[in-house]
């Protein structure tokens, strides 16, 4: 479990890695089966486009609202927690697209009134390695404010824009075994190389915000949020409240 040292690392570096399994083996098996079902039934979507699956598959709330996750999130952003979003993302063998350098918070400007208390839990469903395009981050970049973006080819990348002039030599690679997770600040610069290996890389991102963050309702139509733990502190509306 996280401790005072890991909290200090998170605040200073913008991320922390948990090597202990997030869920027990049976719970991981159930989650992986749900993911495989979504992947098989994705239709025209790419394997990296399975966004907010919990909106229509409430089985995922067992995992998103689990104490195993929320205890770790509470250690980083406090006891009053809302479930913001989730995303299954897979990089298929030999063809998984590159993830450009970006800040999650840049895509949420105008949707929330602050981004300094939002954390992403990235849970590995497959082994995540340099070879198959694991996530990489620029330590400490969450303290630098929003950067400027330039266009990139959307066919080769998961987004159509990218932060310019990133010092890639400073990147830390998050190599994870299935069941391990990383947690990163929404403002940190991060990305991933394409998957050029024969092995798939799949993960489940679970995103949470402290309820001191106000979610701007008119900018989030049909985007429900859940009060995961504690109480609301900023006038948000929750599907379970």
What is the distance, to the nearest Å, from the Cα of residue 16 to the centroid of all Cα atoms in its chain? 13
Q: In the predicted model, what is the mean pLDDT of residues 208-225?
A: 97
**Strands, E assignment, 7-103:** 15-18, 50-51, 81-91, 99-102
150-177 residue pLDDT tens: 999 988 999 899 999 999 999 999 999 9
Do the domain assignments include residue 188? yes
How many beta carbons lie within 10 A of that of residue 38, not counting itself? 18
With a cut of 80, say whether residue 2 has pLDDT above it: no
With a cut of 80, say whether residue 241 has pLDDT above it: no
Q: In the predicted model, what is the mean pLDDT of residues 31-50?
A: 96
With a cut of 90, say whether residue 25 has pLDDT above it: yes
Do the domain assignments include residue 182? yes
Q: In the predicted model, what is the mean pLDDT of residues 170-198?
A: 97
86-121 residue pLDDT tens: 999 999 999 899 999 999 999 999 999 999 999 999
Do the domain assignments include residue 107? yes
With a cut of 90, say whether residue 178 has pLDDT above it: yes
Do the domain assignments include residue 63? yes
170, 45 contact by CB (below 8 A):
no
Whole-number pLDDT of residue 110: 96
Q: In the predicted model, what is the mean pLDDT of residues 36-52?
A: 96
CA-to-CA dists, residue 234 to 66, 67, 220, 241, angstroms: 23, 23, 16, 13
Do the domain assignments include residue 180? yes
Task: Name the token pair of 38.
Answer: 């979504």
Do the domain assignments include residue 165? yes
Do the domain assignments include residue 20? yes
Which CATH number does the domain housing residue 143 bear?
2.60.120.620
Whole-number pLDDT of residue 68: 97
With a cut of 80, say whether residue 78 has pLDDT above it: yes
Number of structural domains found in the chain: 1
- For 132, the domain range is 4-229
Do the domain assignments include residue 240? no
Whole-number pLDDT of residue 1: 60
Average pLDDT value over all residues in the chain:
95
Measured in degrees and rounded to the nearest 5, phi and psi for residue 181 equal -145, 160
Of all residues in the chain, the percent with pLDDT exceeding 70 is 99
Q: In the predicted model, what is the mean pLDDT of residues 7-26?
A: 95
Whole-number pLDDT of residue 187: 97
């Amino acid at each position: 479990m996280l401790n005072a040292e890991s909290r200090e690392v998170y605040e200073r570096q913008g991320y922390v890695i948990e090597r202990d399994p997030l869920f027990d083996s049976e719970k991981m098996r159930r989650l992986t089966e749900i993911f495989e079902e979504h992947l098989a039934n994705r239709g025209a979507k790419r394997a990296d486009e399975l966004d907010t699956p919990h909106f229509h598959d409430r089985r995922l709330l067992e995992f998103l609202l689990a104490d195993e996750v929320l205890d770790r999130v509470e250690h980083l952003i406090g006891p009053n927690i809302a479930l913001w979003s989730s995303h299954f993302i897979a990089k298929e063998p030999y063809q998984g697209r590159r993830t450009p350098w970006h800040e999650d918070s840049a895509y949420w400007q105008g949707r929330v009134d602050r981004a300094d208390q939002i954390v992403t839990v990235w849970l590995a469903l497959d082994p995540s390695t340099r070879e198959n395009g694991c996530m990489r981050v620029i330590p400490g970049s969450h303290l630098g404010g929003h950067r400027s973006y330039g266009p990139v080819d959307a066919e080769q990348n998961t987004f159509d824009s990218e932060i310019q002039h990133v010092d890639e030599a400073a990147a830390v690679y998050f190599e994870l075994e299935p069941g391990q997770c990383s947690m990163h600040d929404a403002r940190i610069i991060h990305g991933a190389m394409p998957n050029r290996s024969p092995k798939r890389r799949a993960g489940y991102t679970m995103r949470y915000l402290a309820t001191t963050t106000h979610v701007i309702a008119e900018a989030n139509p049909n985007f429900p949020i859940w009060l995961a733990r504690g109480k609301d502190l900023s006038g948000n509306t929750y599907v379970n409240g």
